[in-house]
């Protein structure tokens, strides 16, 4: 039992290392999320496919659902809770209003350190290539 001090010191060091991310986040200043810039068309529409809170948190899940529904079931119409119909298309629906990729999509994705795979197949500004 002569190693009692070493064991306690090891436990303290282990505990400090394991909890260090929590301590770091607790005392570091939080960077506020970026302000997104809406296009004139998006401002005029006032409402997206779903409410803003849902879209901020779950837009990728919605797009994945749309992709699966279009590809696997060949259904192209999405009906939201208010009964309004939308074409299930990133390019034709989402990017029609949110055509300002760098001011809208890219700002939040960079803030969250996310690299979406949407642009592997889709162009990020279809109006530039028309």
42-84 pLDDT tens trace:
888 878 899 989 998 999 999 999 999 999 999 999 999 899 9
Residue ranges of domains in the chain:
40-129
d(CA 71, CA 109) in angstroms, rounded, equals 26
pTM of the model: 0.68
What 116-121 contacts at long range (C-beta under 8 Å, 24+ apart), as own/partner pairs, is: 116/60, 118/63, 118/90
């Amino acid at each position: 039992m002569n190693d009692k001090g070493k064991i306690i010191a090891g436990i303290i060091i282990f505990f400090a290392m394991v909890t260090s991310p929590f301590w770091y986040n607790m005392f570091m200043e939080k960077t506020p999320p970026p302000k997104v810039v809406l296009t004139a068309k998006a401002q005029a529409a006032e409402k997206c496919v779903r409410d803003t809170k849902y879209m901020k948190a779950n837009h990728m899940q919605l797009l994945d659902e749309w992709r699966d529904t279009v590809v696997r079931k060949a259904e192209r119409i999405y009906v939201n809770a208010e009964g309004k119909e939308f074409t299930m298309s990133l390019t034709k629906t989402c990017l029609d209003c949110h055509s300002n990729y760098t001011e809208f999509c890219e700002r939040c994705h960079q803030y969250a350190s996310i690299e979406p795979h949407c642009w592997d197949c889709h162009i990020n500004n279809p109006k530039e290539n028309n």
